[in-house]
Amino acid sequence: MLLCIDCGNTNTVFSVWDGSQFLCTLRTSTEHQRTADQYYVWYSTLIAHHKIDAMITDVIISSTVPRVVFNLRVFADRYFNTRPLVVGRPDCLLPVPPRVDQGTSVGPDRLVNTAGAYDRHGGDLIVVDFGTATTFDVVAEDGAYVGGVIAPGVNLSLEALHAAAAALPHVDVTKPQAVIGTNTVACMQSGIFWGYIGLVRGITDRIRGEYDRPMQIIGTGGLAPLFATGDVLFDTIEDDLTMHGLTVIHAYNKENGTL
Ligand X SMILES: CC(C)(CO)[C@@H](O)C(=O)NCCC(=O)O
Whole-angstrom distance, CA of residue 106 vs CA of residue 93: 14
Q: Is position 116 an interface residue for K ion (rule: CB under 5 A)?
A: no
- Which residues contact residue 132 at a Cβ distance below 8 angstroms, ignoring those fewer than 6 apart? 8, 9, 10, 64, 153, 155, 156
| Contact with ligand ATP (CB under 6 A) among 172, 180, 209, 212 | 172
Should residue 8 be labelled a site residue for ligand X when binding is judged by CB under 6 A? yes
Task: Check the CA dihedral 152-198-99-112 and report its sign.
Answer: positive
110 binds, among ligand X, ligand ATP, K ion, none (CB under 5 to 8 A by kind): ligand X
Report the candidate in 38, 70, 56 with the shortest Cα–Cα distance to residue 1.
Answer: 56
Beta-ladder partners of 218:
127, 236
Residue 106 interacts with ligand X (CB under 6 A): yes or no: yes
Torsion angles phi and psi, residue 216, rounded to 5: -95, 150
**Looking at the DSSP assignment, which residues form a beta bridge with residue 232?**
none
User: Do the beta carbons of residue 140 and residue 126 sit within 8 Å?
Assistant: no
129 marked as binding residue:
yes
Least Cβ distance, residue 132 to ligand ATP (angstroms): 3
Catalytic residue, from 109, 119, 124, 137: name it.
109
- Binding map of K ion across residues 124-163, x = CB under 5 A, - = no contact: -------x--------------------------------
212 near ligand ATP, rule: CB under 6 A? no
Residues found near K ion in the complex (CB under 5 A): 8, 131
Catalytic residues: 109
**Residue list for the binding site:** 6-13, 107-110, 129, 132, 184
Residues found near ligand ATP in the complex (CB under 6 A): 8-11, 130-132, 172-173, 221-223, 226
